[in-house]
Amino acid sequence: MAIKQLTIFVENKQGTIVDVTDTLAQHNVNIRALSIAETEDFGVLRLIVNDEATAEKVLAEEGYLIKVTEVVGVKIGDAPGKLSAALGVLDKADINVEYLYAFMARTEKHAYVVLRVEDNAEAEAALEGAGFHLITNADINKL
């Protein structure tokens, strides 16, 4: 069920992110969602793309450190309180969220949240049990 996320190690200095996005653009990879966590030294760039196999291959060829992680994707309504409702479900189930990021769809009136948790199956069961709709890479590509 989960979504494949690419994580790329980048140094915290000018020009490193554009180098990654240029490489992806040259190989016709479209970025659907992106988040970056930075420290003083380095950044961790997390991407959800339309073609993760190509992205992983071309970035690895450029010498980047890449890790593919399965994360949970969930569809929430585009209205106040929807994110809280989803997070509340996880909190009640005692599931810790390591990080999350959200994105909007172009056409539908929906927002989407990507969640990194320790146990995907557990989080998915909790969210589905509460009536949330989970999404996959295929769903994202249709957006």
Partner 1 sequence: MEQKYYQKEIETMPVEEMKKLQSEKLVKQVKHVYENVPYYRNLMDEKGVKPEDIKGIEDLHKLPFLTKADLRDAYPYGLLAKPLEDCVRIQSTSGTTGRRVVAFYTQNDIDLWEDCCARAIVAAGGTNKDVCQVAYGYGLFTGGPGLNGGSHRVGCLTLPMSSGNTERQIQFMTDLKATILCCTPSYAAYIGETLKEQGYKPEDIPLKAGIFGAEPWTEEMRRGIEATLGIKAYDIYGLTETSGPGVSFECSEQTGMHVNEDHFLAEIIDPDTGEVLPEGTKGELVFTSLDKEAFPLLRYRTRDICVLSRKKCSCGRTLIKMAKPMGRTDDMLIIRGVNVFPSQIETVLLNEGYEPNYQIVVDRVNNTDTFEVNVEMTADKFTDKVSEILALEKNLANSMKTMLGINPKVHLVAPKSIARSEGKAVRVIDKRKLV
Where does this chain bind partner 1 (CB under 8 A)? 5, 7, 9-11, 37, 39, 41-42, 44, 46, 63-67, 69, 98-99, 116
Nearer to partner 1, 25 or 37 (CB): 37
Q: How far is the CB of 123 from partner 1 (least distance, A)?
A: 16
Nearest CA among 39, 45, 36 for reference residue 6? 45
Between 46 and 75, name the residue whose CB sits nearer to partner 1.
Answer: 46
Beta strand ranges found along 64-140 (DSSP E): 66-77, 97-104, 110-117, 133-135
Q: Which amino acid is at 131?
A: G
Helix-, strand-, coil-residue percentages of the chain, each rounded to 5: 35, 40, 25
Closest contact distance (angstroms) between CB of 66 and partner 1 is 8
Backbone angles phi, psi at 85, to 5 degrees: -60, -45
Shortest distance in whole angstroms from residue 106 CB to partner 1: 26
Give the nearer residue to partner 1 in terms of CB position, either 41 or 131.
41
Q: Which two tokens stand for residue 14?
A: 């000018």
Q: Among residues 103 and 128, whose Cβ is nearest to partner 1? A: 103
Give the distance from CA 37 to its chain's centroid. Answer: 12
CB of 80 to partner 1, least distance (A): 29
